[in-house]
Structure 1
Amino acid sequence: MAAVFSGNQCYLWIVRYLVKAKVKAGKPEALLASIDNGTLGKGSIAGDEYIYNMNEARVDEHGVARWVETCFCDPPLAEERPYWEKYFELLSINDAHARRNCRHENGTEPWACGQCDCTKKLEEKLATQGESFLAQLRENSSSSS
């Protein structure tokens, strides 16, 4: 999480990351079960974000899943990493967009992150790539049964 202190006030903002990951061998069915029964990420402060991320995730022809992770942690995904690593090999975690384009980061609009719609825009762009990760996970699980 990024924080700036000004006088007695602390201002926090969200950072968006593009996560690329592959499901670990032998884990697809367990991952699908945890999504379906709502236990994915259980116990995490991030709550139902894990399920949301899986609903929004896309997968390419190489089986690499991609999703936009909204994170308050520094380092990135410090809270979420153990939950994801139970099922995924995390290949990369990068800024989801160039910080020079972030109105807060580039100084054009201080505190813009609170009202920013960049996650929605990033997810809309991602939705045009590959296919639904969750649909493919379901399809592969049903065909292997």
Structure 2
Amino acid sequence: MPSFDIVSELDMHEVSNAVDQANRELGTRYDFNKVEASFELAGEIITLNAEVDFQLQQMMDILRNKLVGRKIDTKSMDVGDAHTANMRARQLVTLKQGLDQPLAKKIIKLIKDSKLKVQSQIQGDQVRINGKKRDDLQQVMALLRESDLDLPLQFNNFRD
């Protein structure tokens, strides 16, 4: 019986490369000349440090461009509020990966509402889809690609 898994994963090595590239671009940009500004990656949290809020907005644009250039979907970014204190501005960006329970239930409901002949079940931070025909599974993939979910989805572990 054909099956596949729906997951939401990030390549953290590519994220690290994007943050490094963003830091290098800060060093070469004229508007950040003689300004203490930096990106820091710690686990799944990227910290933006600058002197004023306006610079944080510019840094966010740089980060988004570098992530898109590394083929990382910006839907996985959860941007926090900017905090300003003592002539320093700071902003946290949390990277989301893995399907949480509410999103997994939303995916299953979407599949059931489409009346496709497949079974779906939640397995930790992924959803397993089983069906009798490969075409049904491909229709599920197309349905999920068209739907507007707030996380990027990948389909892996496809078995025939």
Please indicate, yes or no, whether the TM-score normalized by the shorter chain is above 0.5. Answer: no
Higher normalized helix content (fraction of residues): 2
Q: Which has the larger radius of gyration?
A: 2
TM-score computed with the length of structure 1 as normaliser: 0.31
Higher normalized strand content (fraction of residues): 2
TM-score computed with the length of structure 2 as normaliser: 0.29
